[in-house]
Structure 1
Amino acid sequence: MDPAAWLTFCAAAAALVMIPGPTIMLVIGQSLGGGARNALPLAAGVAAGDMAAMTLSLAGLGAVLAASSALFGALQWVGAAYLVWLGLRMWRAPVTVEAAPPLPPARAMRQAFVVTALNPKGIVFFVAFVPQFIDPGRGFAGQAAILVATFCTLAALNAFGYAMLAGRLSGAVRRPAVRRALNRLGGAVLVGAGLAVALRRA
């Protein structure tokens, strides 16, 4: 793969993953409740979700979604419903003086994976984004593997950084009123993100 193209891809991907979206809001919300120990499972879930979305995109699913409004709409509703469900759970989470116990690592990873992977807009985006950095005169599979690995690594590092920051903040947030406000803010953002996903159209 051309090094210049790869560096350009790195810069573009780094800027993309740093924009806080539904996945990062989920990471922050769970890290506030669970502490920094959830950082690795959450980052792994984000990386796995992005890998699934990019792999499906490059395998042709993105083109199918772009051509099939029914399938695209169905996946929008599935992703939207899951975000709303997570948001409602965060809104209703019990608040105590002590920090909430951390989520089991498997559950934290699973939630981050599902929110990241079930984003049909992201799948379609990857179809348009990734091919711009592939040289048609070279082997497709090798270049695609490099780009997928690069993007997933950047996404994982970004999620890990957000989780660590939020985990440190969780130690200072002890007042029940403050924790309740943070839970409701995060829950409202996730519910809003779910509704936005449902209302958006390709």
Structure 2
Amino acid sequence: MVDPLMLLAFIPAGLALNLTPGSDMVFCLGQGLRSGPRAAVAASAGISLGAFIHAGLAGLGLGALVATVPAAFEIIRWGGVAYLLWLAVQTLRHSGQAEDVPVSNATMAFRGGLIVNLSNPKVILLVLAFVPQFVDPHAGSVLGQFLIFGAMMSFGGFIINSAVGVFAGGMGRRFARGSRVLDWICASVFGALALRLAILERA
């Protein structure tokens, strides 16, 4: 279905894309600092699922529709801004509370990573600009090719973002659990991501 040579060309290009610092990587870093390596890996898994969904939507043509409809683009974008601001506020609300991180934090981190990725319309534009360069309409199902390339991007992103989050989790252990300094750092990370998403341009 996918030309092996095209696949070999996609691997380094996709890896370079995954290594570029962005909202997903910073979100995993914040999760690692706040809740530890397990939450960071869960957040990375949620982000990877979101990236795979974006690729599937692009293959179906829905991504192009969202990218060209201003209202849809804005609704997705401001939904993401609201969610990130909510995370920042929640972090500060519980600031200074010394408590064990509940098991459900991994589930919450996964859900958060998925929401952050899906609510970033810039990802839609990125997928639409990047993946079609490697898709050959004469090589079989276009949707199938999008899904294959999307899976590769998602897997690479999962490894890299998880590594960043685990590293951040190790740094977070140096702070006392419930440290207000750590809470303010994490809230600032989520707030900065919200600001970045709020001021991004479509092009």
Coarse TM-score class (shorter-chain normalised):
0.7 to 0.9
1:172 partner SS: coil
Deviation of the 1:7 alpha carbon = 2.4
* Structure 1 counterpart of 2:192: 192
| RMSD of Structure 2 on Structure 1 (CA) | 2.2
- 2:137 is equivalent to residue 142 of structure 1: no
* Matching of residues 32-181 of structure 1 within 5 Å: 32-95=33-96, 101-102=101-102, 104=104, 105-139=106-140, 140-174=142-176, 179-181=179-181
Deviation of the 1:70 alpha carbon = 1.3
Out of 158-167 and 38-47, give the one that drifted further: 38-47
Cα deviation code 1:41-76 (max 9, x no counterpart) = 222211111112221122112211232111111111
Alpha-carbon separation, structure 2, partners of 1:148 and 1:6: 12
Cα deviation code 1:89-110 (max 9, x no counterpart) = 23444225x6852561211110
* Structure 2 counterpart of 1:183: 183
Instruction: Calculate percent identity across the aligned residue pairs.
Output: 32
| Change beyond 3 A, Cα 1:36–1:184 | same
Deviation of the 1:192 alpha carbon = 2.4
Deviation of the 1:162 alpha carbon = 1.3
Q: Residue type of the partner of 2:35?
A: G
Runs of 4+ deviating beyond 3 Å = none
Alpha-carbon separation, structure 2, partners of 1:192 and 1:144: 31
- Taking structure 2 as the reference length, what is the TM-score of the superposition? 0.86
Contact 1:34 1:99 in 2 (8 A): no
Alpha-carbon separation, structure 2, partners of 1:19 and 1:181: 27
Alpha-carbon separation, structure 1, partners of 2:166 and 2:131: 29
| Change beyond 3 A, Cα 1:61–1:124 | farther
Q: Residue type of the partner of 1:56?
A: L
Alpha-carbon separation, structure 2, partners of 1:147 and 1:193: 27
Count of aligned residue pairs for this structure pair: 199
Alpha-carbon separation, structure 2, partners of 1:51 and 1:33: 26
| Change beyond 3 A, Cα 1:110–1:11 | same
Alpha-carbon separation, structure 2, partners of 1:196 and 1:28: 16
Unpaired runs of 5+ in structure 1?
Answer: none
Deviation of the 1:167 alpha carbon = 1.8
Deviation of the 1:156 alpha carbon = 1.0
1:137 partner SS: helix
Q: Residue type of the partner of 1:148?
A: G
1:201 partner SS: coil
Contact 1:57 1:124 in 2 (8 A): no
